[in-house]
Structure 1
């Protein structure tokens, strides 16, 4: 009776799924299906076989997610290039020399080792809840001898460092898997640029760098401006005498995230979405898969519009169908039949029983010219036929192109071919060299007699059938492009859509050739437009930038990057940027249309033209605008100074909710710098004194402008308006001075209120608004509140003391030349409907 029970106990223990702890100590080992699990249960270490692998005899030691993630997702692999066939006969254990080793056949052969120089046997390996496997001494000091986070595979986990140890010269780098089922090191690597340790590169085959992050500017890498929008992560870059490295953490510890260098060569930030039970890609670099160097291998053609993004041109097939099925396109494509010049070099005259027919060329229709491939011009070739003949003289010549650039010969495997989706008019034609057997011909005799095949547009035009095919192709292409544009508009109009780069012709059509002007400002004019939406038409406002300076001085690429950075900034009290257009000198910004226009029209409209805004509406507008500015100053990764806060830049939606506009024209200010030097911009009447004095500008300049706007919300009149000659001598008419005196003197503030309201006001809110406004317009920026304090005051969270009269206003009232001062001020600020606007950029 005891023997069967003992056998049962041994069987249960032998089949245990995990060891009792997170530690591999001396005398214990991982073998077969036994594993260790981190203390909090986040990660598991053991033998695994990649999902989808066709080989049932390739096993690896790795770390994968234990809980929350249902899919087996390895984050680190030890023996990447050395799989074992029988985990039951292998052991992962701490050896007598203190190293963690993977040995097969009872220790006869070491497959993998930590290779640490240690003579201590009191060493243990511990799997941490961060996914990091550490080898450390077992004594009290717990000195870490080795850790897996410093030897990553293809995955970078939160908290791990990726960089360069300047003392040892060792650099951590992510290396892609060879394929989706083979964790062996692939061709792509992501690591720090050892020549410029403030940026990171992705390289191909250890030599070709095809993507760079740009240098770290204190908050983001300049080549990845969209990092600013990902508030899920906190990135930290450190560079000192010991090393340079970057690390990141998650603001929400419950989120499961990882960064992976994919087999395709893209680095992908991913999060686990439990509701969908799958990994979701947050962002990728490079953005376009076809920008990855040699992503489809030699002669492979990349297409962004296809689910199977790699294909082979006519006359070619994948070099390895099996590798392509698992995402390994590194071997590219090969010809269906070898070139005859190659066969002749091996003294063969027949192929598949056929006579040697020579080589020919076939037009690679709709395929771009190669990039980064070896080429040379053939200046003596004056025609397409002559160019082909020049290529045939060398067996190493694999293709030629002819067109506006003349004759160019291409050698070796063609890299970075791409399927074109836009109009290819004006591009040089590419002809790829094939065996004549793979080039269509009317008869075998004709194929033997021809050494070159040209597909000529002129010949096609001579045929009615060919001409019809061309016309039909053009119509189909036009239809597809229109459909794509329409889908882009729908995406832009739909809630949560990404920023869209519009075609200029589409925006011009949407605005009826910019026929309905909504208004104008210092940076350009705004036009109303209509675009097709998911349900009916959607109204948009298109800002046509018309001045030099600011964004317009930058190149197209920088403009697009800066606009994309602005486009990800979203808040309920900020106007949302839907898209943009950069077409030569034409720069357009497409916003949501605000049906109730700008605040200045609601406040300063002719008394008979529209009813006055109620006090409730005014106070909510003031509070919403303050919240929008607070988000720009504090809610974004970079502090954004608006620089031109005024009623014209506060728009009202259908529910009269305020939306701050034109913040895209402001300078982006890194958090590590409290000030920014810039040229004067904004509008006289709202400009803080530091603009005029030349003192560097901070976010407090926006606070001053907001204070002036708040005074106008109270009074319903412009602070600076036209005076008569008699009024010029009466400085008491200058409303900010009137308000400051009454607030400071504790007088009744209802006299400051717009008379159209007939005293219908919440006295407490009026008192708070006037006090806040007078604090905001203090000359000394140190005495002004922050926008956070402004919001708290308007919400009634904090009390507001009685402010002093600003020094400049007191001096203005006491000036003997008051009339002259106000006359000059009046001259600068009175200007038709947009009184008060004097802007320079």
Structure 2
């Protein structure tokens, strides 16, 4: 049974009392930037009844499907199921719409529209031919692409530009809160698009935000946010630093093997840096086909971004200038990185060090566009 809802508080409507009828809106052209409210029937037809063969990703609240609209547009349709008791799914739906309908940037995903049907919410995006960076770089062998240095460099710079836009150009500033490889989508030309704004937060008056509910993904969480709930733009900077180290090394943030147990990429990068063997972090698949000075600079920027003390981390605009070599990094001091310790036995505000171990009990929000198992 379909129903109409008043979403004037999050949709870009001319009147605060507007009622959106999800069954009476017409889809618009692929190049039309207007936000479209699709009917459930349109999306069901586009995805062949949300068939398994059209499923391209899976997340915490549902799956993502490839769809073909009647006008020929290829889209990605994210289905969110709302938990009525906690309203989870609904919050992410509203956050995504309220954020993305007001943002336009080459390195941010484009939200084309939405649909409301019963307790289900649907978000419609431009389709990304190469799925996510997690699949292309870190996924199963059959899904990987052998990314050369130039591709890795451009992906890193693109993500940095997208975040610098959110942090510095947008007013009020926006913190993404869940920057990770599976939330970086890649189009047919491997142009990166920051996606999944369901956890994003607006920072008004350029002040920090204190949250009693820490959300994000283990391994990418800034220590001060994980332990005190203090959310600033430096929270995203930490996550970007981890992502940058992943891009250069081709390694996941946390790895495990039976012989050595858990391995942490941030810790490995720090140890190699201190031992003057920083280039050993570069993905072996590159061989010698990369500029050593650039690789050293990128790894150093990554380590600067994951420093334990938030005020020592560069702002995203400065990190971008460092990556493009517009700022001289000669003599830049890098302090010890921070990792998240076991949250079962920790009090808010406790110090962390790079020797700390991660814990799996922290809430993690899987990417809705990561590979389905």
Classify the TM-score, shorter chain: 0.7 to 0.9
Matches within 5 A, 1:572-583: 572-583=106-117
Shift of 1:577: 0.3
1:511 aligns with 2:44: no
Picking from 78, 89, 94, the partner of 1:543 is 78
- Aligned counterpart, 1:768: 297
1:742 aligns with 2:272: yes
Q: Secondary structure at the match of 2:335?
A: coil
1:613–1:685 CA distance, 2 compared to 1 (3 A): same
- Aligned counterpart, 1:67: none
Distance in 2 of aligned mates of 1:670 and 1:584: 33
Q: Secondary structure at the match of 1:671?
A: helix
Distance in 1 of aligned mates of 2:44 and 2:119: 15
8 Å Cα contact 1:529/1:542 also seen in 2: yes
Distance in 2 of aligned mates of 1:711 and 1:614: 15
- Aligned counterpart, 1:665: 199
Q: Secondary structure at the match of 1:540?
A: strand
8 Å Cα contact 1:678/1:696 also seen in 2: no
1:776–1:606 CA distance, 2 compared to 1 (3 A): same
- Aligned counterpart, 1:804: 335
- Aligned counterpart, 1:636: 170
Shift of 1:532: 2.4
- Aligned counterpart, 1:213: none
How many correspondences in the alignment?
341
Shift of 1:524: 3.2
1:759 aligns with 2:293: no
8 Å Cα contact 2:305/2:313 also seen in 1: yes
Shift of 1:561: 9.1
Matches within 5 A, 1:188-337: 285=15
1:787 aligns with 2:322: no
- Aligned counterpart, 1:727: 260
Picking from 655, 672, 681, the partner of 2:215 is 681
- Aligned counterpart, 1:593: 127
- Aligned counterpart, 2:239: 705
Shift of 1:573: 0.1
- Aligned counterpart, 2:344: none
Distance in 1 of aligned mates of 2:99 and 2:118: 21
Distance in 2 of aligned mates of 1:551 and 1:570: 26
Distance in 2 of aligned mates of 1:655 and 1:722: 32
- Aligned counterpart, 2:65: 527
Distance in 2 of aligned mates of 1:762 and 1:547: 48
Q: Secondary structure at the match of 1:617?
A: helix
1:560–1:807 CA distance, 2 compared to 1 (3 A): closer
Shift of 1:647: 0.4
Distance in 1 of aligned mates of 2:361 and 2:94: 35
Distance in 2 of aligned mates of 1:504 and 1:526: 15
Shift of 1:490: 3.0
Larger Rg: 1
Shift of 1:694: 2.6
Q: Secondary structure at the match of 2:238?
A: helix
Q: Secondary structure at the match of 2:136?
A: helix
Q: Secondary structure at the match of 2:57?
A: strand
Distance in 2 of aligned mates of 1:284 and 1:609: 44
- Aligned counterpart, 2:5: none
1:778–1:582 CA distance, 2 compared to 1 (3 A): same
- Aligned counterpart, 1:83: none
Shift of 1:692: 2.6
Gaps of 5+ in 1: 1-221, 227-282, 292-421, 424-480, 816-820
Distance in 2 of aligned mates of 1:743 and 1:668: 35
1:632–1:507 CA distance, 2 compared to 1 (3 A): same
Deviation by residue 1:173-223 (Cα, 9 ceiling, x = unmatched): xxxxxxxxxxxxxxxxxxxxxxxxxxxxxxxxxxxxxxxxxxxxxxxxx96
Distance in 1 of aligned mates of 2:82 and 2:253: 27
Segment of structure 1 superposing worse, 687-696 or 711-720? 687-696
Segment of structure 1 superposing worse, 777-786 or 629-638? 629-638
Deviation by residue 1:218-247 (Cα, 9 ceiling, x = unmatched): xxxx96985xxxxxxxxxxxxxxxxxxxxx
1:626 aligns with 2:155: no
Distance in 2 of aligned mates of 1:790 and 1:646: 17
8 Å Cα contact 1:519/1:526 also seen in 2: yes
Deviation by residue 1:41-73 (Cα, 9 ceiling, x = unmatched): xxxxxxxxxxxxxxxxxxxxxxxxxxxxxxxxx
TM-score (norm 1): 0.37
Picking from 482, 500, 514, the partner of 2:36 is 500
Shift of 1:547: 5.1
1:648–1:504 CA distance, 2 compared to 1 (3 A): same
8 Å Cα contact 1:740/1:804 also seen in 2: no
Matches within 5 A, 1:433-452: none
8 Å Cα contact 1:744/1:804 also seen in 2: no
Q: Secondary structure at the match of 2:114?
A: strand
Distance in 2 of aligned mates of 1:616 and 1:649: 21
Q: Secondary structure at the match of 2:75?
A: strand
Gaps of 5+ in 2: 1-7, 341-351
Distance in 2 of aligned mates of 1:569 and 1:530: 24
8 Å Cα contact 2:304/2:334 also seen in 1: yes
